[in-house]
Structure 1
Amino acid sequence: MKLTLSHRLIGTVLLAAFVAAGTLGPVAILLAMALVLTAWVFFRRPQYGVAVLVAGTVTNLFGVASNMHGLPGIQAPLTLVLALILFVRWVAGKEDLAPAWLFAPLLICAYGVSLLSLVHVESIEPTLERLIEQTKDLATAAVIIASLTSRERLIATVRATILCMGIIALLSVRQYLASDFSNDVFGLAQASIKQIAGEVQRWRLSGPLPDPNYYGQVLVMTLPLAVCLAIVERRVVARLAYGVCALAILAASLFTFSRGALFAIAVMIVAATLTLRSRWRLLGAACVLAVVVIIALPSAFIDRVALIAQAAHILITGEQAVSDPSLNSRIAVMNTALRMFADHPLVGIGLGQYSGHYSQYALVSGIDPGAAPNAHSLFLETLSEEGILGFIKLATLIIVSMMVAIRGAKLLHARGEKRDAAIAGSLCIGFIGYLATAIFLHGAFLRFFWIEVALLLSLWQVSKVVTQRPGLVSVMERRSSKMMQRALLTADVLGIVRRRKVLIIGVTIAFMLVPLVQTQQSTAESTLLYRFGREYFPVRPGEEHRNWGENVQVSLDAALFTEMHLLRSREVIEATVADVGLDKLSPQRDTVLSDVQSRASGFVKGVLSLGAMLDFGSSPESPKRAVDPVVAAAKDLGERLRIRRVEGAALIAVGIQDADPETAERIITAHVESYLRKRQQLFERDPSKFYSSEIEKTQSELASIAEKITSLRLEQGVPDESIEHSVLSDRLIALERQRQGMRQPDVPVLQKDLKDTREALFDLNALTAATKLLEARYKNVSENLERMLQEQNRWRLDNAYVRELGPTIEIVEPAMFSARPSGLSRTVRMILGGAIGLFLVIGFLVGAATIGRRKEENAQPEQVEQPRVKVYSNPSSISQAGQ
């Protein structure tokens, strides 16, 4: 029997495993063999590998394995393995990577726009973190696009994803119905108690994700595919299975209590009604489903949904605050995102920079700086972080993906592949649902977006080859043809670069010159460490300690936010201006880029103000008043100061950027000193005189009360009221008995004695009541005096603690006052800018050339090879040929 290549490879692997078993151990060898076997299966059946990648990413199984079970990351290594397998299969002539090459310029341009943030951001760590995450997502999307080249692979991927999501949804539904929230099923069925509406709190399902809203987003994204498979599958068992998955996904999405998920379901129903043929049946089913949902859902969730109308009214009119704290915070952070976009409309504040800039905008706008520093909207987050250019990138990805998917669905339907066309349409509707939820959710799990984009773009190749029948061509001819295509592809790219070299060089140089026209900024920063004490726990004289949470919310967050507002108070900033000097704070010379940025910012602010979305102050037509130079400088300084809280600690960082490093250092030094002086005036006053005076007043009040009690007793001649009261009572009783025993009870002497005794007893009761009131007051004042003395002793102890062990506020790392260059150096920015410009212009040119070639190929009629027939001139030649 002749051994094939696969048999030889398997034999080699087994032999190597047997040899290494003595050194590595059996467990490691078994694991290695399992990985090799899995890679071999993926090589022979690529649909299995891409199905595992998509299903594990969409259901967040990879994240659960890494975050909750301590396993190493799976998505990135799996993507790399699948990419290597695709490359090997491509070299062997078993794969066609034309779709990947077709959409590569789109992905490269999108990544290039994100790279622009590195040129202008001051803190590159958040941007690098987001870029690394985007690199992984783009690699995953590219592998999916290159792998899904046939309907079998696409259907296998969709089936695996829906089955996995259906199982997870079933676990969540069982958990909710059984109220078994303590069992999270290895992290696949998580839940947490969160606010629903008002003061009502309930369990909200989050499945394999840490947040119920994002769990609702991924459920909504997969719901149309589950419904589609339940309808188009041919086998009854499969249809029942997918039907159960669809019901479980729908129920789990409702049990997340996510208003965004419910809104997305409504949007998808509208989209399906407008696009599908059986729209009236679908509309009737949607109405029945809506009635069932309204009846089944708790009333608190109905109230939660009703608050959306109130929020919409607030966004339009801005008359009052939203009663729901969740919606209130979301409106605040969304407005903050719009303000960031209005200040930086072209390229935004930088990828991943929203959380770092949020506290500054929150202090300026007067909103809660402790809200979650997220834009709560993918579109607003893109506008604020990447500006108009980033929003164009996002819109291009969405539009191109939808156009490719709609074209593929139409082509499949025209060829009679209604089943595949339905799956393609379901992918489009699921993407619409994802975009609907993205209105209210930022890009925390942006890999879901890239997975959807990759699935939609893969329909280009699936729709082209679904009905093609290969001709009788030898393997060698096919391999030579593919090799020629690969050679021509490189030649085409080199030809485009050669023909457009002037344009490419010009764009590259223009991008390299951008950092030269930017003013190099230096950053000075100071970090303050707080040890909060008695200044945040006020106790009035004589008032006992109690739980101040009953009427005043005092916490670490509230204390830090108070300090942040104090750092940005007008009095502190004006004192800083006075210390630094107006000559050092004069406005800097505008560059070309800053002038363009200010003009664009003014235009965007005008548009937003006309739309009544934001209020940026007085209108431009209002007459301008003369402004004090100190006030103007303080306003400009307040906008430039960066005041942010260091997450997870009682730290506040104060920083500023300036072209002159010495000026930046001087501003931060003066500002911290002004703040500490103001804080000492407010919180750190010496209360020793206050305690002494209050103690003296209390002691004098006690002496006065004691003197009054003594004088009352001396006036009545009663040293002890209780003894005197007993004597008078006995005498009155004796007189009454004597009067009753006499035959003549109206004897004048006896009557007079009874009257005098009653009057004396009444006066004694009055004296006793007055004395008791004075004694109660004396006791109360004595207790207040005791508490005052205790407070004085506590203050002395606190003062000794601060004096001996450390101050209430400590400046961490005084070296941070020294200004340092902001962001990357100018040379690195020039190199990076040139590389980005080169990538963008080449990607754009290659994409345009590819689209143009595709149009030319589609426009040319398909040429059919005619049979070769030899024509003879006369019949005799025909007879000779026949012989």
Structure 2
Amino acid sequence: MPSLRAVSPARRRAGVAVIATSVLAVVIGAATALEPVLVLGLVVACTTVVVMTLRIETAVLVYIAVEPFSGYLTQVSSIAVKLVGLIVFVAWVLRLATDDRPPTARHPVTYAAGGLVLVVLAALVIHPNGMTGLVVATRYVSYVAVLIVLVDTLRNRLDPWLLGRTLVLSSTVAAVVGIIVFVNENGGRAAGPIEDANDFALHLLCALPFALALGRRSGAHRALWATAAVILVVAIAATFSRGGLLGLGVMLILALALQVLRWRTAMIGLAVVAVAVLVALVVAPDLMQRSLDEKQHVASANVTSRFVGWTLAAEMTADAPVLGKGPGGYSVHYDEYLGSRVSDPPHLDVAHQMFLDVASELGLVGLGVFAAMILAGLTAAWRARSTPGPEPDRRLLATTVCVAFAGVLTGAMFLSSQYYLPVWLLLALAAALTPARRSR
């Protein structure tokens, strides 16, 4: 019998592999017998992570698909959404390491985003604001990273219309879930997959123009996208979000003006929505009445708190005009600035107005860089649709991005939208419409 030393290293490694595989198989088998649902979930999760890591396109699409369900994911784990974003970034880094093609993320939008990161870091150094400041600064940096990854991926590998289809389908499913929760809870405000109804409306607003555009682009599945658009409109209405409804109105007017939506289609869609509302009033009058009463009850208080919040943000900007109160500074200094202006006021972590929020925490320098980033995105999208002779698909995509920007930025007048994906996603799509200049 040969000694252990006589066995070759290759045979020893093979033997260890066989033993390890056998032990792993026994462990997985036993675990499957005891907790089959848990094991199946772990297998699916691990497989998804591996596929996402190896294919940046899959990683981006999964990220877009899960974002409308961020509220549910946060209930599972507070870092679930951040983990998906991290996987996207890791997949992109692996793509850079294994692909000969250089990154193509150079664009005025990404330049301004890089400047925003510098401002955030400078403001964080001057006004640390403890853990709150670190969390808010991380949000900005992570969304800038997502923006750069999306621009490069959309230019190199991923069809923007595939991303649009994913956005519409996932948002429509989220809308259906929100409507079901709204009905089961006998009214209130539709939210469901995202805890705050106003933020939920913002995500649905971003998806609606793509549903309309896909309906025009795809003859075979026109009914599918038309149904999705109606569901999204009904869900936005069920959120009772004033910013969402105002954004919806602005967006529909621009969609008609830019011919993303035809008048005949708009009339049919509005008729269907009106019928749905009438059916709800007849079948479930208590549900509708409770929702209207609840909205009316909080309406005046919301107006007062928003006005006070905006005033405090302006005062913080005036006191620290260069770099603001630092990331998270609005929440940290809110009670100090509020004083005794309002009896028994709620504590606000954000100003509920995107530009005032940025100004209060990053100063006029940060506001200028942030506004330049938005303006660069709007300019890129408008130029792409206005340039003579572009292919019809690209022109339709550019017009869709312009319409979506109109709705989302209108909603941002009443929300701190810089902390959510829609703004950054539209910036990435706008930048990707500009022909790429390759980075070294």
Q: Does 1:339 align with 2:343?
A: no
Deviations 1:3-38 (A, max 9, x none): xxxxxxxx9xx9797266168645599888756654
Distance in 2, matches of 1:31 and 1:303, equals 42
* Residues 1:16 and 1:334: Cα distance change in structure 2 (over 3 Å): farther
Selected match of 1:449 from 423, 427, 430: 423
Selected match of 2:130 from 124, 129, 145: 124
Deviation at 1:389, TM superposition (A): 1.1
Amino acid at match of 2:149: V
Structure showing greater radius of gyration is: 1
Amino acid at match of 2:342: I
Deviation at 1:344, TM superposition (A): 2.6
Q: Does 1:271 align with 2:271?
A: no
Deviation at 1:278, TM superposition (A): 7.0
Amino acid at match of 1:359: D
Distance in 2, matches of 1:404 and 1:357, equals 37
Selected match of 1:66 from 59, 64, 74: 74
* Residues 1:344 and 1:53: Cα distance change in structure 2 (over 3 Å): same
Equivalent residue for 2:185?
181
Distance in 1, matches of 2:427 and 2:164, equals 14
Deviations 1:277-336 (A, max 9, x none): 8776577668868977997776898899999xxxxxxxxxxxxxx982221222222222
Report if the CA contact (8 A) 1:170-1:245 is conserved: no
Report if the CA contact (8 A) 2:104-2:155 is conserved: no
Map 1:279-678 → 2, pairs under 5 A? 324-363=300-339, 366-368=341-343, 370-373=345-348, 374-410=350-386, 414-416=389-391, 418-443=392-417, 445-461=419-435, 489=440
Distance in 2, matches of 1:427 and 1:281, equals 22
Report if the CA contact (8 A) 1:79-1:143 is conserved: no
Equivalent residue for 2:24?
21
* Residues 1:356 and 1:133: Cα distance change in structure 2 (over 3 Å): same
Deviation at 1:422, TM superposition (A): 1.9
* Residues 1:124 and 1:400: Cα distance change in structure 2 (over 3 Å): same
Q: Does 1:139 align with 2:115?
A: no
* Residues 1:45 and 1:242: Cα distance change in structure 2 (over 3 Å): farther
Report if the CA contact (8 A) 2:335-2:347 is conserved: no
| Structure with greater contact order relative to length (CA < 8 Å, sep ≥ 6) | 2
Report if the CA contact (8 A) 1:47-1:157 is conserved: no
Equivalent residue for 1:52?
62
Equivalent residue for 2:203?
218
* Residues 1:240 and 1:20: Cα distance change in structure 2 (over 3 Å): farther
Equivalent residue for 1:113?
119
Report if the CA contact (8 A) 1:99-1:460 is conserved: no
Amino acid at match of 1:442: S
- What CA RMSD, in Å, does the superposition of the two structures yield over aligned residues? 3.8
Report if the CA contact (8 A) 1:294-1:302 is conserved: no
* Residues 1:56 and 1:459: Cα distance change in structure 2 (over 3 Å): farther
**Length-normalised TM-score, structure 2:** 0.79
Percent of matched pairs sharing the same residue? 22
Deviation at 1:143, TM superposition (A): 2.0
* Residues 1:153 and 1:347: Cα distance change in structure 2 (over 3 Å): same
Distance in 1, matches of 2:311 and 2:78, equals 39
Deviation at 1:138, TM superposition (A): 2.1
* Residues 1:267 and 1:30: Cα distance change in structure 2 (over 3 Å): closer
* Residues 1:106 and 1:337: Cα distance change in structure 2 (over 3 Å): closer
Report if the CA contact (8 A) 1:55-1:164 is conserved: yes
Report if the CA contact (8 A) 1:47-1:156 is conserved: no
Equivalent residue for 2:223?
240
Secondary structure of the equivalent of 2:189?
A: strand
Q: Which runs of no fewer than 5 residues in structure 1 stay unpaired?
A: 1-10, 183-201, 308-321, 466-484, 490-883
Deviation at 1:232, TM superposition (A): 1.4
Amino acid at match of 1:424: A
Secondary structure of the equivalent of 1:324?
A: helix
Distance in 2, matches of 1:142 and 1:122, equals 26
* Residues 1:300 and 1:383: Cα distance change in structure 2 (over 3 Å): farther
More strand by percentage: 1
Distance in 1, matches of 2:319 and 2:272, equals 45
Report if the CA contact (8 A) 1:90-1:96 is conserved: yes
Report if the CA contact (8 A) 1:79-1:139 is conserved: no
Deviation at 1:261, TM superposition (A): 0.9
Deviation at 1:350, TM superposition (A): 2.0
Distance in 2, matches of 1:181 and 1:241, equals 28
Amino acid at match of 2:65: A
Report if the CA contact (8 A) 2:354-2:417 is conserved: yes
Report if the CA contact (8 A) 1:230-1:242 is conserved: yes
More helix by percentage: 2
Map 1:731-750 → 2, pairs under 5 A? none
Map 1:752-771 → 2, pairs under 5 A? none
Deviation at 1:390, TM superposition (A): 1.7
Secondary structure of the equivalent of 2:190?
A: strand
* Residues 1:103 and 1:448: Cα distance change in structure 2 (over 3 Å): closer
Deviation at 1:375, TM superposition (A): 1.4
Distance in 2, matches of 1:240 and 1:15, equals 54
